Amino acid sequence: MYQTILYAVADQIATITLNRPERLNAFLPQMMEEMIDAFDRADADDDVRAVIVTGAGRAFCAGADLSEGTATFDYGTRDGGRSPRREDGSIDYAHDSVRDNAGKLTLRIFNCLKPVIGAINGASVGVGATMQLAMDVRLAAQTARFGFVFARRGLVPEGAASWFLPRIVGISKALEWSMSGRIFDAAEALSAGLVHSVHPPVSLLDAARGLAAEITAQSAPVSVALTRQMMWRGLGMAHPMEAHRIDSRAIYARGSTADVAEGVQSFLSKRAPVFPNTVRADMPDFFPWWEEPGYG
């Protein structure tokens, strides 16, 4: 079905594997489209409780595929009839073809209703670094290397990294990494909080699967989906009252559900819960509580 990724589900975990190992999983527009489709599949499948993203071979993603040379980032040479350039030569920056593909992908990951874990198995630079910022937890192999290398290519960070990265590692470290464009190792990524833990390459996926199971094994899927969106979207709130409004709605709406009855009864009975509600059918009626902004 896919040409640039692999998609598999086992033990209620969907694994998306970037699958261009001969090109170090270099990023293409097709890879963006296929990854978005895979996240759509995961969200629509109630048997999927978590998503892991990793790379085939020795790299996670070595950045954009540069096989087109200097035209790689010159969208005006590739868009044909979809060019945002007006007849007078000015640019319509609200035109959809101006949007960067990494940003389309990170926004899709941001909107995911399942926990997303990055298993960063090797080189992870450019879009390979920015795409993982919208994932909830990142685990790295000891051999992983990271780089926000855009300034060294005459570019700026994409994939909404200017929103995600400072929130993960702080503004000072985000600026230092992004302005220098230097490559750094997994130990530095761990020290700065970019990754949760570092593992021998052979045990990385097992560690990611173990974390996915820990997150989901005894948690209600609807509660996890709500919590993920509450936390991420709370980062942009101006006052805790905004969070209090959403918390209150969620607690009220969930309080009378079969999930809560099962959660309480399983606790009292000292057994593992079996939550009946599903993400596809049982999200509360106030969800989503935000108005999704458009690009233009």
If DSSP states are collapsed to H, E and C, what string results for 56-81? CCCEEECCECCCCHHHCCCHHHCCHH
Gap between the Cα atoms of 25 and 17, Å rounded: 9
Exposure b/e, 126-161, CB count within 10 A at least 16 = b = bbbbbbbbbbbbbbbbebbbbbbbbeeeeeebbbbb
Domain contains 289: no
pLDDT of residue 68: 64
Task: Give how many domains the chain has, as a whole number.
Answer: 2
* Domain enclosing residue 160, as ranges: 5-216
Residue 87: CATH number of its domain:
3.90.226.10
Q: What are the two backbone dihedrals, phi and then psi, of residue 77, each rounded to the nearest 5 degrees? A: -90, -5
Q: Is the dihedral of CA 28, 30, 31, 32 positive or negative?
A: positive
Domain contains 292: no
- pTM across the whole model: 0.94
Residue 81 pLDDT greater than 60, yes or no: no
Neighbours of 191 (CB within 10 A): 13
Do residues 14 and 147 share a domain? yes
Please compute the mean of the pLDDT values over residues 43-71 and round it to a whole number. Answer: 90
pLDDT tens-digit series, residues 204-230? 999 999 999 999 999 999 999 999 999
Residue 265: CATH number of its domain:
1.10.12.10
Q: What percent of the chain lies above the pLDDT cut of 90?
A: 93
Do residues 204 and 241 share a domain? no
Do residues 143 and 225 share a domain? no
